[in-house]
Amino acid sequence: MPVLHPVGPLRARVYWRRRLVVLAVLLAVLGAGAWGTVLLFRGGTDSADGAVAERAGAAPRTPALAQVVPSLSAVRTPVPPPAAQEMAAAAESAAAQTPAPAAPPEPAPGGPCTDDMLAIEVRTPGSAVVGSKPVFELVVTNASAVPCVRDLDKGLQELILLDGGGARVWGSNDCFPESGADVRTLAPGEVVVFPVTWGGLSSTPGCAAERTPPPRGDYAVRGRLDTKSSPDAPLTLT
């Protein structure tokens, strides 16, 4: 047969090589066509599936990051145990039921003037020459809203002079003590002033020590009415 036994001027193996080459090309073309058909079919199916999923309202796929990191809504806040809640509620209830501290009773009009109802103050000239005789004032004020009664006896009044270190230098009752009943009813806001002259010399209780003029410097004068004391008032000796 001429197909199996080629006839021509060339050798037979030349014709066989040509036939093998044509056969290989034909097989390659057929294989490429078949692969393209498969790809075309798969692509059409994916597109059709996507369209059907879109028309059916299917949910989109979850991104890979959302699969790894949980959403904040999924994190649960720890809830205190029931015992702790009951204790907190009991504490709030006890605090709500605790009565407020009672206000101190108002002073009765015409009663005694307690120390809380009085204001004591000392007034000084601010400065004085060493050896001079400055005048101090002990000021007593009824700071309450009602009239009250207080004994303003001279023996209950006292002024003392203190040096910069707080040491006692002079006292108004050391050498010339006075006494005598002086019970008064003080109206609300009433002010009573008692002037006291200092002789300019030091003194000790009982006036037993030698009296000398204190040196120049800064001092303080403190007043007292029985158990009620005043703030210190400054005095400078020049």
Domain ranges of the chain: 1-56, 111-237
Better-predicted residue by pLDDT, 116 or 59: 116
Average pLDDT, the chain: 81
pTM value is: 0.56
Q: For 87, phi and psi rounded to 5 degrees?
A: -65, -45
Instruction: Please state the rounded mean pLDDT for residues 22-30.
Output: 81
pLDDT confidence tier of residue 198, bands split at 50, 70 and 90: very high
Question: What number of CA atoms fall less than 13 Å from residue 147's CA on the CB side?
Answer: 5
Q: What are phi and psi of 88, to 5 degrees?
A: -65, -40
- What CATH architecture applies to the domain 111-237? Sandwich (2.60)
Q: Is 163 helix (H, G, I), strand (E, B) or coil?
A: coil
Tokens of 56: 């059916």
Q: Which residues pair with 219 in a beta bridge?
A: 235
147: confidence class by pLDDT, cuts 50, 70, 90: very high
Question: In the predicted model, what is the mean pLDDT of residues 205-213?
Answer: 94
Res. 66: pLDDT tops 80: no
pLDDT category of residue 51 using cuts at 50, 70 and 90 = very low
Q: What is the model's pLDDT at position 39?
A: 67
Higher pLDDT, 30 or 85: 30
Spatial distance between the Cα atoms of 162 and 220, rounded to a whole number of angstroms: 5
The pLDDT score that the predictor gives to residue 24 is 82
Q: Is the pLDDT of residue 61 over 80?
A: no
